Amino acid sequence: MARTLYVGNLPWATKAEDLADAFSAHGEVLSSRVITDRETGRSRGFGFVEVRDEDADTMIAAMNGTELNGRVITVNEAKAREDRASGEIS
């Protein structure tokens, strides 16, 4: 089974391959992607790394708060889209 990790505060020049390289030192990376703006194609400063379930906690502990290309990144387990706030006030 796989888990998806959220990676925030990425440098603008970070590519998916950079994420895969950084995380692969701590376990198997199944896929990685950097989210880009639809109109400009420029990085939005965050991305996702899909990893094996058994490697996820190790990767979060190892990578959260570390520096990647000059910026301190945030790493945690990604939340499913349907789990996010819907914008309704309760």
pLDDT digit string, tens, across residues 60-74:
999 999 999 999 999
CB 89 within 8 A of CB 52: no
Alpha helices in the chain (DSSP H): 16-24, 53-63
Residue type at 20 in one-letter notation: A
pTM for this structure? 0.87
CATH architecture of the domain with residue range 1-75: 2-Layer Sandwich (3.30)
Q: The dihedral of CA 60, 64, 67, 70: what is its sign?
A: positive
Residue carrying structure tokens 């020049």: 13
pLDDT digit string, tens, across residues 11-44:
999 999 999 999 999 999 999 999 999 999 999 9
